Structure formats: C-alpha cells, structure tokens
Chain A
C-alpha cells in the first residue's frame, strides 16, 4: 500500500502487529485497539525520547515517505515496510527511500532501527541518513550489509563493521550534539562511523536486490539497542558541563546576583516576612517599603480569593489613577468580577447571602488538589491562627490543634502532594503564629495574613518572547489557599454550587453589573477602537449564564479559581510598574530568557539543547 496519507493517520493492520493480543487488551478505545495502542506507544516513546522537539515546527520521522522514493521501492505496512521490486542487476538498480521528515536538531540524539526481514538473493543493503537535497547520493552516509563497509558521500567504502543479513536488527544513531553517527547491530554499538555530519539528515534505507524486505522502527516498538541509556550519558555530560561552568573571579559577584534574585522575587510576590528575614540574613536591602509590599499582597489576595470588586476598590484607593490609565486592565478585572459574581464569590453578590461557597477556594479540578482542602472539612473556621505546618521548618506551637482542623496536614504534606516538584512553604514565622489567637480578629487580619499564604508547586509558563505583549507569568499557583477573615463562614462549604450563591437579589445585581460591563466595553470601543480580545472575554463571561450548571459547561473553565492567577499577576505587575519597580522579578526574567535561549538553540541546530532543558533544573 503506497498511499500518500499523513504519517499521523496511519492504519495499522492487526495482522501486522506482533504482541497484539497482550498489548491491545488494556486499551478499550474506539476503533482498532492495536492501532490505538501502537500509535499511543509511538507518541509516548517519541515524547519520552525527544522532549525538546516541538513537532509543530519540526515533525519527527514516523514512517517512510511514499513521495520521496525510487520507483523500484515498494512500501507497505503503513509505510514502515520496504521491499525491492526492481531488477537488481547492477549498482544502477539500487533504490532508496527516505523518511517523511528530517531529524530535528532538538532531538539531541536520534535513533531508529531497521529489521532485515529478507535479504534477497544477492544482498546489498544500506542505511543512510541523508540530506534533503535531491541527488540523494551526494550527501549520503551509509552502512552496507554485504561487506560491512561505511560509505560517506562517495562511492568508496571504508571498512567499518560486520556484515548483516536476514533477522538482524540494524540501528542508526545520529548524535546532533557532536554531529557524529554510529550504527548498531542487534543492540550492540559498532562505534562511530561518521563525524562532522551536516544538519537536516533523513533516515533512509537503500536496497538493490529482488526479494529484499526491511521493516523500520521509528519508535513504534521498543528498540533493541538501549538508546535511553546512551542518552542518559549525554544528559549527565551536559548537566555536568553546566554545573561546572567556570565562573572564576566572579564568584562574589554571582552570590550578590543570586541573593538579589531571591529577594526581588519574594518582594514581588509580597512575601513580606520572608523577604525581610532573607534581607536580614544576607545583609541586603529591599528597595520597596514594607507598606507597599503589604498593600500589593492584600490586593493580590483579594483577587485570588475571587473578591475582585474589593480588589478594584482597594487598588483605586491605594493607587489612584492606576486603573484609569490602564483601561484594558480595568476591563479584564471587571470581566473577572462578573465571572466571580456567577461563582458567588465576589463581595457584591456575597453580601446578599450568608452562605459563602468557600469551597471554591479549594480549586476543584486542580491537579494538585490535596486532601486537606475545602469541602471535606466542614470545621474549617478561621485558618489564620491555625496556620498549617510548613515545610520550611517552622513548626507552629499549636500544631496539635491545627492537626484537628486540618486533617491530612503534616510536615510531610509536600511529599504527599501529587506534584513531585512541589514546593510547600508558608510565609509564617513563629512569632506571628504564636501571637495569633485561636480565632483571628479583624484587627490583626493584615498581620496574620502574612502567615496565611501557603503555596504548593509553582509552575511557570515559559516563553516570554513568543508573544511580546504577554508578560511572564509570575508563578501560576496550582493551589493557593487564602485564609479568610472572620466574615467568611465555611460551615456551608459543602453546599451545592449555585448561580450567585443561589440568591435572587444577587442574581439581579449580577445582571445589572453585566450591563455596566457591556457599557464599559462599548465605551472602550469608542475611545480606543474595537478590541477582539475584549469581545471574546465578554462573550465567554456572558455565556456562563446560558447554562443551567455553569460549572459543568463548555465555558465553565472560567470559573476555575486557577483562572484568577493571570489577572492577579497582571494587576501586580501594573502596580509595580506604576511605582517605577520592575513589573516582573529578575528571577522570572532569567528563567524566561533561559527557556527562550534553549528554544533558540533548537532552531540553530544545536543538539545539546535537548539535554539542557530548564525544567530539568526546576525541582
């Protein structure tokens, strides 16, 4: 079958699959289970082997290309099997086929295997990764089965390895870090065959004998050679290179830079007490004053708690003129406020209701949802005093008490979190906790609020430069528990979710607010011209009302408390900018820069990028 279908839509015949019976059993998906399984396995393996490859930019080879082949070549088995159908009388009858795509540099190390199903009569087979330029033989590299020689760009071969024949599995590994290549035979590396390889090579196979059949494995099946082990060596090498990067004389300088990075990061996110403690320990200065940090922190908490209306008010009060100068930001905030009204969390609707669905703060659906949160715990009163144990070693004296109130919390909570890379820390310092009373009073709400923030796992959305207008996200909180003041009662937190908390007056208020929002949008259109983003935002927000259960509807995603994070960091950045402070912390800038740099390396074909991924260093 030599169709021209895209490799992603390959059809796998049952009969062509080894191990199908045992493999197919687990996946009861629609269609051919074997097909699903094999494609799933292929995708999984490719993702595991080449995590740095962006397949939108540089697709990986997944089969032979029906377009790029000699006519003497026949393809079958979803373009994985190659057979020779020419005369095979002399060297001119040799024919080859190449894979659908060249090997992306971001692979770092690329590997594929070919099994010799039948060697034909008078065997000559070669595997060559070769250049995309037509006139294939010019920049081709190969290993011939009949004499074991290697061929490089020309007709004369060099003695290289053993011969190969029916039943042998021959592999080809291209190292895009040092631009070399080696072949394997039945899982044994035969040593470097070529050095100084050019970029953009294609996996290729060449045949010359009638009856010759070979099967390719681009990752559809486990490889005979342990390529992952080979990769691990290079990963270790490159990590070692990074770790041992010489800094020489600049050691002291580096320390100051690192301290500054940590400090500014803490300040940026408003971790006031930690920042102060850090500054004291490292004898550095904090640029922003305490009050300003706390103000920002308070506003952020309001946003993250879904109390956007209050956040807007506070911002207007503390930073007059800020939102007026940022109509886009104000619009975004108002849109969010509308969504929170639907959610029943915004104070404008909550005041109508005694019931407050605090359960929303437990981030339903958040992947790192940990057992301690929300609905399962009806006794959750004021959390401020019972600040949970923290993994940074500060153990509140009222640990036993908190144990009652927070089943499941322990100092080991970070390890029980579903995210292995989670960081679990709290802003609490012991004095705050001890001072706090079992019930937190209004008076010291702001004081204690420092000790209330607990963050698990920060995930950074990378790639600043992809969209110049986008900011680097200041940490996407997978989970953030906002510990509330006394006016929030959580006793009804397990109550079912209802529009605006189920209150009629609140619903009316929400609708009225929606009209105002619509008005604001029209006003902005008049002043600044049409804004597609705004329109979409508004549409999405209003769509919530079209469903009886907004939480379980196609646009219900908006109600997820995680969605507050973007707007929260946007507001924070805007405030900082207005105070002539950097709108993003240098740490995030460096991180974004490093991430972008690694992506750039892939584009300029520097293979080591695949083993220098930023994620590897974020634990």
Chain B
C-alpha cells in the first residue's frame, strides 16, 4: 500500500527539519556570547517569511530563551536588539504564534525593554509589540495593566519616526472602549499625536490619523478638544479637510472623513459646517463608488450612515449627491455571476465581502430614509429594493438581518409606503418569521417595525392579526429588555386602536390582567405610557368601556388611583386622567367613579392643578360625568341629574365656574360646555 510506504519518509523529512531548528535553539545556549549573537542573527535570517520554521522554533522553546537574553542586563545591546527582532519576526506568523508569544509573557518583557535608552532596541521592541497588539487574539487590556506604560509610550513619541509609527499604531488598535479613550486622552494623546499629522512620513501621518479617529469616536470630550487644536498654526479640522483631498491616498481620505464624522456626531462640529456638507459628506459618498475597493465601500457607507443619521438636511444632500441611492444598489450585486466563472479568487473575495456590503447598504438606506418622505420614495423605487429587503430579512448573517430590518423600519415611517410597497411585497411575512427567533437587537428593530405595520391605516394589519401576532407581542412585554417591552405594548396599543370587540377581548385575554397591571408599575416610563395608551384604546366606544370595566373595573380603578398618587411625569398623569375620562364616558362604568370619593377628590385636585394639560383632562372627565344622556334608557335623565347634584355638593360647580375664566381658551371652552349641562 502506497501510503504505508510513504509514511516513514515523511517522518524522516519532518525530523530533519526539526533537527535544523533544534540546532538554532541550541546555539542560544552557547557559553560564548559572541556565538549566541551569531546564533540569533542566523535564526533571524532563517525565520524571515518561513512560517513553518517559526512554528518549529516556538515549539522547541526558543521564545523563553530569547526573552531571557532580551531581559538579561549582561547581554550586549546588539544581542538584545537582535532578540527583539527575531521575536518580532515570529509574531509576524500565524495567530497561533501570537498566542504562544503572549502566553510566554512577551508583552511585559517588551514593555520593560522600552525603558532601555538604546533607540535601536526600543524600535525593535515596539515593532514586535505593534505586531502582537494589532492581532485580534491579543487582549488589548494588557496595554493598560501597568499604569506607567502609556505615559512612557507618550514620551517615546519624540524619539524617531519609527517609534511614532509603531506607538500610534498600537494606540489605534488598543483603544476600544471609552475608558481607553479617557486614559489616552488624560495622558496627553492629543497634544502628543497632533504634530505627527504633518510628519514627512506617510505611515506616521496615517497612523496618527487613525489614532484620532478611534479617540474621537462617540467621545464628546476628545472631540471638543480636537476642534481647538492647532497644528502648525492650522486648525485640526482643516488639516483633516486637506487629508480628504481627492488626490490623497484613499485610506487617508476615508480615515480623515471618519475623524470629522465622529467630531460632528459628538457635537464638536455643526452639521451645517461647510467642512461637513461640502467636504466630509461628498468624500464619503465617493467612497461608496464602484471604483473603490469593497472594504472601502463598506466603511464609507457605514460612516456616511452614521454621519447623517440625526440630521435630515444631510440626508437630503446625500440623497442627491452623485446618484448615491442608485450607487448603493450595486452593493447587492456581489458575488457577480461573471466573476464566478472567470476568476475563482475574485469569487472568493466577493463572497467574503458580500454580506458586509449588503448590511452596509441597508444601514445607509436606513439612515437616508429615516426622515424624508421623498427620499423614502426614491429608495423604494430603486431596482428590486423591496425584494432585497425581504430576502435580507431571512439571511443567515445576523448583521445583514439587523441592517435589513433597520432599513425596513426606516421606510415603515412612511404612511404611503405602508399602504403600497409594504403591502405589495407582504413584508410582514418575513418580519413575523424574524420575530419568532432572533437576537434581542434584531427583535427590537423588528418589533418596532411591526408597531408601524399595525397602525390602523396599514393594510398589513389584518393579515398580521390573523397570523397570531398577539401571543408573540404579549410575550415581548415580559422581556427583560425595556426596549422590547415598550415595542410589545406599543404594538398592542396600535392594534387596539379602533379595533373591534373581538380583538380587544383577545388582547386582554392573552396579556392577562396580571401582566397588564405589572406593566402599569413598570420602572420604564415609556412602558407605562404605552400601557396606559393601550388601556385608553381598549376603553373606547361606550359598549367596550362598559364591558371591560365590568370585568376588570376594580383593578383598573386601583391602578389609576395608584398612578395618580405616585411620582409620575405630567404626561403619565395626563394619560391616566384621559383613561378616567373614557371610563366616565361609559354607561355603567361611570358609577365606578361616582361611587369612589377618593377618585373624585383627585379629579378635583387636578382641575385646580397648575398644569393646563392636567386641568383639561380632569375637566374632560367631569364633563363626561355630568353629561345629559340622550339615548333611550328611562333612568338616564335621573342618573345624570343625580350625578350633577352630587358633583355640585362636592364643589365641582364652583371650580368649573372659576375655570370659565381661565386664560387657556381650550380649558375655558371645556368648562363652559360642562356648565351648560347644568343649565340644560
């Protein structure tokens, strides 16, 4: 058998390789320092570009020995530098190499080495540290463990162009959290790195620029400081603008645009500043063009989406810049059918970036369409747009699904789109499917979109109702995430708006009174508001009011009392008074208020409240109570008469009389109308 014959041969080749590697390691232990040095130099030459050799040496234990020699005070500076170079070379290999190096505590050893005065040695250490730190397998926290490291690195920035390049590169890769930003900021990162932006070395300029982009990201303190920094008597923002010039390397343009974007989002630059409108935005749009590399297009689109997210004017400008909306349609054409046949490498590349491209395009569409109706129309009219979103909702990549649903959510704010394209493409179907099983962030967006689809004018409302959405929404209200609870209850509220009795009954049954009242004491005021909104929608039209109140009157009155007594915002109290007003509109439900003196006192209190909105809501409630019934029931007249008498006794007439003199015209009208009921 052939393979049996071959096997021993392979082993012998392997052992031969190991033997030569072994020899390199053995020489590191030679008693003659001169021979050790030569051994390290030979090792350096042997490992360059040879991943196998690197792995072998690591397995054979070269790293601890090299580290020992590097740390040894008796080693010559030349030997120490050569050791650092070899370690740097080993780090250039695979991720496993980096892991082994980190496990050998290479980082503290090299950081210690930086204290040595010898520049060549420092540069070799920094080079190796840079390679280790930019690897995704290295925990960035290792840079911050020793508090003296960052200040020392700052002080090394002036030593040479190489130290500048390596240190700024380390910073930009190790600044991942607001805490990291603060540490670097507090150690003078801005003042130390700003001058490097005009370094003669492109690499240094580029790494310094990258540093600023990670420092400024969502950081107001850094951004506010940056706008006032002068580099060679020029404002930093102008330096960034120069770096965005079209003849600059793309990487530099893109990173400079990121810096300005982050400064703008952090509030340090106005969104109508010409450096944003005429420079940053067009630059980012250019990054989305077909001429750019796929990676650049992804970054460009994401940054642009972030830049204009909160500003409708920027959205409008971007929507007409260089046919951006149409340009983004190209993001969905990867992998292209041509590349599959002609070029395998290209196909691989395309496949790798296809998801990223799609999610970036969805994000940008979402941002573009978040406010302006015309832009939404333009987006939905882009070729196959709705189909793309629909298929995006069921993609395997969570990132794409999330971006697709964000895009859908943005478009769902349009009444017109809800009525037309959303219905035509039955987007509710994949959306419902998405809601069955998805990570929380996707669920938040999807349920939020669902809220809009359940608005009463949406033609999708009916089919969604029939698909058993109520159970799903009720389960969302039990989520730990406040955002999901809000969306769940919000969707139910929308659903209950002007719904028929059957739907309302189903909602109450599915949600359960217990859950409903739990939501009324939810710590999140948004949840509370929407729950009150749901109650109010449930308690509309007289027969519904009476029916709901007859079954849940006691609990509702309790909850209302509790809220009116509690520490709540004006909006919450107003909504609660509106619920009371609805209850007061019922035929039998009225009695629940009339027989509750505590509630009547509260209504009285709010009629004299300093806030007009609350006065208005309370007066509305009283007005409903004293209303002369016109419909059939024989005792109706007497009923209203009794109520009027009771309310007069309680002093409501005096208050109403006073309110007819109120300065607010609405309140004044409402009080007058109520008074007329007494005269009738």
Binding site for B on A (CB under 8 A): 161-162, 182, 185, 187-192, 226, 229-230, 232-233, 235-236
Contact = CB atoms under 8 A, between A and B. Distances in A.
A220 to B, nearest CB: 20
Nearest to B322: A191
Nearest to B378: A159
Contacts of B277: 187-188
A64 B247 CA distance: 33
Contacts of A230: 246
Nearest to A235: B247
B246 A190 contact: no
Nearest to A193: B323
A391 to B, nearest CB: 19
23 contacts: A162-B320, A182-B322, A187-B278, A188-B277, A188-B281, A188-B282, A188-B317, A188-B320, A188-B321, A189-B322, A190-B320, A190-B322, A190-B323, A191-B323, A191-B324, A191-B327, A229-B246, A232-B245, A232-B246, A233-B246, A235-B247, A236-B246, A236-B247
Contacts, number: 39
A189 B245 contact: no
Interface in B222-276: 245-247
Contacts of A233: 246-247
Contacts of B278: 187-188, 226
Counting chain B CB atoms within 10 Å of each CB, the highest count among A185, A190, A191 belongs to A191
Contacts of B247: 232-233, 235-236
B219 to A, nearest CB: 29
Main SS of the interface on chain A?
Answer: mixed
A230 B321 CA distance: 14
Given A187-B278, A188-B277, A190-B321, 15 more contacts: A162-B320, A182-B322, A188-B321, A189-B282, A189-B322, A190-B322, A190-B323, A191-B321, A191-B322, A191-B327, A192-B323, A226-B279, A229-B246, A232-B247, A235-B247
A189 B321 contact: yes
A226 B245 CA distance: 10
A190 B317 CA distance: 9
A617 to B, nearest CB: 16
Size class of the B contact interface (CB-based, 8 Å): 10 to 19
A190 B323 CA distance: 6
Nearest to A162: B320
A285 B324 CA distance: 60
A578 B246 CA distance: 53
Contacts of B245: 229, 232
A233 B282 CA distance: 14
A182 B277 CA distance: 18
A162 B374 CA distance: 11
Contacts of A182: 322
A407 B168 CA distance: 44
A229 B280 CA distance: 13
Contacts of B279: 226
Contacts of A232: 245-247
A185 B246 contact: no
A374 B444 CA distance: 83
The 8 tightest CB contacts between A and B, nearest first, are A233-B246, A191-B323, A236-B247, A232-B247, A191-B322, A162-B320, A187-B278, A229-B246
Contacts of A162: 320
B375 to A, nearest CB: 11
A236 B246 CA distance: 9
A185 B323 contact: no
Nearest to B244: A229
Interface in B379-406: none
A223 to B, nearest CB: 11
Nearest to A239: B247
Contacts of B321: 188-191
Contacts of B281: 188
Nearest to A226: B278
A192 B317 CA distance: 16
Contacts of B327: 191
Nearest to B318: A188
A235 B245 CA distance: 12
Contacts of B324: 191
Interface in B310-339: 317, 320-324, 327
Interface in B133-160: none
A190 B282 CA distance: 10
A161 B378 CA distance: 11
Contacts of A236: 246-247
Nearest to A148: B320
Nearest to A225: B278
Nearest to B283: A229
Contacts of A189: 282, 321-322
A192 B324 CA distance: 11
Given A188-B278, A188-B282, A189-B282, A161 B246 contact: no
Contacts of B323: 190-192
A190 to B, nearest CB: 6
A236 B250 CA distance: 12
Interface centre among A188, A190, A230 (most CB of B within 10 A): A188
A192 B290 CA distance: 13
A190 B327 CA distance: 12
